[in-house]
Amino acid sequence: MNVDWRNRNGRNFVTSVRSQGNAPNCWAFAMTALYESMIRIEHSLWTRRSESDVARGAGKQAWDWGNAGEAHIFVERYGLADPGCFPWSEAAALYTAKPHGPALSALPMSPTPDRPGRTMRIRPGTFVGLTTDQQKKDWLDLVGPMVVQVPVRWDFSAVGSQIYTPNPNSPIRGDHLMLVIGFNDTDKCWIVKNSWGPNWGDGGFARIAYAGNMLEPRAFVGVRGTNPDPWAKRRQRTGALVQGGNGGSNNNFELFVLVGGNIEHWYRENSNWQMPWNQLGPLQSADPWRPLPADAVDVPAVVQSSFNRNYELLYRCSESGLHHAYFDQASAGGSTPGSSATRATPSGTPSGYQDSSRATGAHLVTSKWSP
Amino acid sequence: MDHDDSSRPDRTESRRAMRPTFGELRRQLAENGDPWTIDPLISDDEPLPEYPLGGMPEDAGERIPSALIDPQVDVRTIIAELPPNDPGLRERWAEVGVPLDGVPPEATSDRPDDSGNR
């Protein structure tokens, strides 16, 4: 049995190798790597989390040692923010929730005020420690990577791409935490991701022989139930209401509702203090020869995509399965509300949504909407 | 306050002197018959890099009570409550017989969802 989360079914679930610099904060790096991998496994998302957030949030500075339990207690209670909220640093930090501002700019770093909205959360009670090799391998196979705290010897600094066996004559330096990302029963070794940068080991990873009995005596810890922050999920949002970039303040609400088989587009002009709702009317095909049938049976799922900020709509139809329509923001000519909004362009897929519908070049005509 | 470091022993040098060298490690590996070797491009005189650690002894820090699972417990019974979404992982669960309906093989949980993760 071989498991390597860098390549499971052709996909990678392990985030990039980091360096803890000179700080004895391996515990924060190993746990952060674990959360990032579990988010990837559980939500198919790549997301970068901040080692400083967990370390300083847990009340530790760059010179403090720690363990997995401390890190997880903080994350379970307060979540784990991204580096944009609180970046990694070895400088002393005052970890508070105080708002930033000119008067406070001289204070040591603290997280941005919007931290609660940008943290990954995790379901309580899902932190487990496993002690037998069978349990550890089952978890690595069926759930994901795990963190281990082990005593390391001086010779571990010299590990390369070969399978490492600890030399008993090499003095022990102390305890170190790493992410176990798999095992290989053929080569009889564990596979670990370290936090000593990509120049250590084999690109930051190493293989440790079962025969060395280095990891076996220690418990492996794993977590489940990650709940990524909304920003990390930004490309996966669906719903009938999105906040787009249109309007006088570039933050109008766009609403799509089902009215008698048609999808109607409304928007709220957020730059107007009265925040009026405006009706743009039903979606109509930009191609007059291919009218959009009034056969919608569901409110669409909507996302503002990274394709020119287009609004992408997906909804179920009575006659043609799923239907994909989009509003071409690129040709909207600016952010003036209403007058610059464009008509929906149906993809015309007869039997279900096809992502390549636009690539075919079919039905790409757009037209400006006029009231 | 300024610190006058000139009166102190050079800690960096003394620590460097304590560090084993690659040459010493090569000899140890050879004596022990270890199967792995050191990159031949690294000279014997070079001290081993002192990478930072950070693992506080587990009995000295905060621990999470009841996190350790009984060694007799089959992992498949404790993970079944939360089936994966990843298609490859779901296939793997099916292969090894872990139910994908969220019901553990030999136990059911009536604990309400108190996660607060909404």
If residue A70 lies in a helix (H) or strand (E), which one and from where to where?
Answer: helix A68-78
Alpha carbons A60 and A69: distance in angstroms, whole number:
13
Whether the per-residue pLDDT at A209 is higher than 70: the answer is yes
Q: Establish if B40 touches chain A: CB-CB under 8 angstroms.
A: no
Reading phi first (left if > 0) and then psi (alpha if -120 to 50, else beta), residue A229 is in: beta
Residues 6+ apart with CB under 8 A from A303: A235, A236, A237, A238, A242, A311, A312
Query: What is the distance of C-alpha A333 from the center of its chain?
Result: 32
132-171 of A, contacting B, C-beta below 8 A: 132, 134-135, 138-139, 141-143, 149-150, 152, 154-155, 157-160, 162-165, 167-171
| Residue of B31, B76, B114 lying closest to A138 (CB–CB) | B76
Across the range A68-72, mean pLDDT stands at 92
Q: Does B33 touch chain A (CB under 8 A)?
A: no
> Distance (Å) from the C-alpha of residue B51 to the closest C-alpha of chain A?
7
Compute the nearest-CA separation of A54 from chain B (Å): 14
Q: Show Cβ contacts of residue B32 under 8 Å, excluding neighbours closer than 6 positions.
A: A167, A168, A169
d(CA A307, CA A326): 10
What tokens does A241 get? Answer: 């209401």
Interatomic CA distance for residues B108 and A234, integer angstroms: 35
Phi-psi category of residue A308: left, alpha or beta, with phi > 0 → left and psi -120 to 50 → alpha: left
Q: How far is CA A351 from CA A35, A93, A263, A311, B1, in A?
A: 39, 57, 19, 21, 76
Q: Encode burial over A307-320: b for 16+ CB neighbours within 10 A, e otherwise.
A: eeebbbbbbbbeee
Query: Distance between CA atoms of B70 and A177, rounded to whole angstroms?
Result: 22
Give the bridge partners for A277, in sequence order: A268
Position A337 scores a pLDDT of 26
Asked whether residue B96 carries a pLDDT value surpassing 80, the answer given is yes
> Cβ atoms within 10 A of the Cβ of B5, count?
9
Q: Check if the beta carbon of residue A149 is closer than 8 Å to that of residue A218.
A: yes
Q: B36–A174: do the CB atoms touch at under 8 Å?
A: no
**Separation CA A33–CA A14 (nearest Å):** 8
Residues of A in contact with B29 (CB under 8 A): 155, 167
The predicted model scores a pTM of 0.71
pLDDT digits (tens, 9 = 90+) for A114-149: 787 788 889 888 899 999 999 999 999 999 999 999
- 3-state class (DSSP) for residue A73: helix
**Comparing A233 with A253, which gets the higher pLDDT?**
A253
Q: Which amino acid is at A213?
A: N
Structure tokens of A332?
Answer: 């909207």
Q: How far is it, in rounded angstroms, from Cα A36 to Cα A226? A: 9
Mutation target to probe the B interface, by most B beta carbons within 10 A, among A157, A162, A195, A227 is: A157
In this predicted structure, what is the pLDDT of residue B15? 52
- Strands A205-209, A163-164: pairing is parallel
- Residue boundaries of the structural domains of chain A: 2-227, 237-357
CA nearest A229: which of A342, A81, A35, A103?
Answer: A81
Number of residues in chain A: 371
Q: Select, from the ranges A192-206, A270-284, B72-86, the one with the highest average predicted confidence (pLDDT).
A: A192-206
Average pLDDT of chain A is 80
Query: pLDDT confidence of A350, banded at 50, 70, 90?
Result: very low
- B12: chain A residues, CB-CB within 8 Å: none
pLDDT in tens, B8-56: 444 444 555 578 899 999 999 998 888 898 888 899 999 999 999 999 8
8-state DSSP, A217 = T
Q: How many whole angstroms separate alpha carbon A66 and alpha carbon B34? A: 32
Distance CA A352, CA A356 (A): 12
Count of Cβ atoms closer than 10 Å to residue A48 Cβ: 14
Measured between CB atoms, does B58 come within 8 Å of chain A? yes
A164 to chain B, minimum CA–CA distance in Å? 6
- Quote the mean pLDDT of chain B: 75
Q: Which residues of A touch B84 (CB under 8 A)?
A: 41-42, 143
User: Is B89 close to A66, i.e. CB distance below 8 A?
Assistant: no
Q: Is A199 on the interface with B (CB under 8 A)?
A: no
Work out the angle between the directed axes of helices A68-78 and A26-43 (0-180°, nearest 10): 50
* pLDDT of the residue at A341: 29
Polymer length in residues for chain B:
118
Interface predicted TM-score (ipTM) of this complex, two decimals:
0.76
- Binned at pLDDT 50, 70 and 90, residue B62 comes out as low
Give the contacts of A69 (CB within 8 A, at least 6 positions apart). A127, A221, B58, B61, B62, B63, B64, B67
- How is domain A2-227 classified at the CATH fold level? Cathepsin B; Chain A (3.90.70)
As a whole-number percent, the residues of chain A with pLDDT over 90 amount to 46
**In this predicted structure, what is the pLDDT of residue A340?**
26
**Interchain CB contact of A221 with B (< 8 Å):** yes
From A20-29, A231-240, A350-359, B71-80, the region with the lowest mean pLDDT: A350-359
Residue A328 scores a pLDDT above 60 = yes
The torsion of the CA quartet B105, B111, B115, B117, rounded to 10 degrees, works out to: 70
What pLDDT sits at residue A335?
29
Of the partner residues A132, A158, A225, the one whose CB lies closest to the CB of residue B22: A158
Rounded Cα distance, A371 and A368, in Å: 10
Q: Is A23 in Cβ contact with B54 (below 8 Å)?
A: yes
A196/A112: higher pLDDT = A196
DSSP for chain B, please give it.
----GGGS--HHHHHHHHSPBHHHHHHHHHHHT-S----TTS-TTSBPP-----B--TTTS---TT-BPPTTS-HHHHHTTS----HHHHHHHHHHT--SSS--SS------------
Does A316 contact chain B (CB < 8 Å)? no
CA A192 – CA A333 distance, rounded (Å): 52
Can you tell me the distance from the alpha carbon of B74 to that of A141, in angstroms, rounded to the nearest whole number?
13
Contact call for B64 and A69, based on CB within 8 A: yes
Partners of residue A20 in chain B, C-beta under 8 Å? 52, 54
Q: Which of A108-112, A245-249, B77-81, B109-113 has the highest mean pLDDT?
A: B77-81
